[in-house]
Chains A and B, each alone.
Chain A
Amino acid sequence: MRKLTEQELEWIHTRLKSLHIRYTEVYEETFDHYHSALERCSVADSAEVFRKLNKDFSRDAVKKMEKELRKTSQKQVTKMQIESFMFWKYDVRTSISFIALSTVSVLISILFGKYLLSAWLGIVIVTGLVFMFSKDKSLFHFNLVFWKKSYVRAVTQEIYGRFAILSGVGISSILNIPNMRLEIIFHQAGFFDISNIFLLIVLIYGLSLFRIVLSLGFSTTTKLHSI
């Protein structure tokens, strides 16, 4: 294996830029593939190898890679959310914290109703977002120089997306649900306000997302070669 020349590295950077890759994971994998192929061929053959690689890594191929990666990330986050409820699998400290947080949420909803519960939900969302931001800022790397692209981790995008949905559902439940007929039925049945139940579900969903954020360990040493 040999070290790539400056010119060869420049070829890869230019090619990857032209593919308009969105996700860090796809960028890294494609870069490694080009690099591995070129370092195993002679300098004399590199132009031909590079041409073949460009043919294989077409725009369509990259789009397909991104599509499958998106699906993987969605499944991964959902699986982690479900697992986050299996508190018996955590260490004792985490289990106690998780049970305590869930109990506090239920108590707030029973004793103080939806407004305090929604404030509590707000705290969970904001804290989760702050933690997420401290681990991976890639989604917020906006660049004013339009030809310099920013890459995003597919998992990060998925988690931020779920936080956004969570906030939306939380807000709309505070605003709309009291007008629903179901609420009256619940009241007549002797239960507390249905919006509390709804908010509680949303809150538990938020707690599971929060738990994922805490367990994520993104590499901060990875430098993207084309940024």
Chain B
Amino acid sequence: MSNNNLIKGSLQTIILKLLEENERMYGYEITQRVKELTAGEIKITEGALYPALHKLEAEGLLSTEIEQVDNRVRKYYSLTKDGQKEVTSKMSELQGFVENLQRILTPDLKPGFNI
């Protein structure tokens, strides 16, 4: 089953989290890192990744720098100060959602269970 629809809502959080850990990354690198971390189980499509990156940039959560790499231009993304704050809030939001989802899927689970 394609998990693209499941990832859709958490794509921004994934990007922000990766950038928090890696300081600066470029588009292709992000897709590969996700693939690597999930052993290929989750694949971020480029058609979703770049618009999300540009959106986060427009919201002032990401800043960019351009570098010349082997005769071509590469755009690196990194977190702004606002972006760094946003990672924490997005992460707790997502964790809360996963907890609630767990409660629905496994009703026997005690409240307060942490993933």
Contact = CB atoms under 8 A, between A and B. Distances in A.
Interface residues of B, number: 23
A72 B54 contact: yes
Contact of A71 (B54, B71, B72, B75): B54
A29 interface: yes
Most buried by B among A67, A72, A219, A223: A72
B47 A222 contact: no
Interface in A175-227: 219, 221-223, 225
Interface string B32-69: 00000000000001111011001101101000001011
Most buried by B among A56, A67, A221: A56
A37 B26 CA distance: 12
Interface residues of A: mostly helix, strand, loop or mixed?
helix
A65 B50 contact: yes
Contact of A68 (B51, B60, B72): B51
A25 interface: yes
A57 B47 contact: yes
B72 A29 contact: no
B85 interface: no
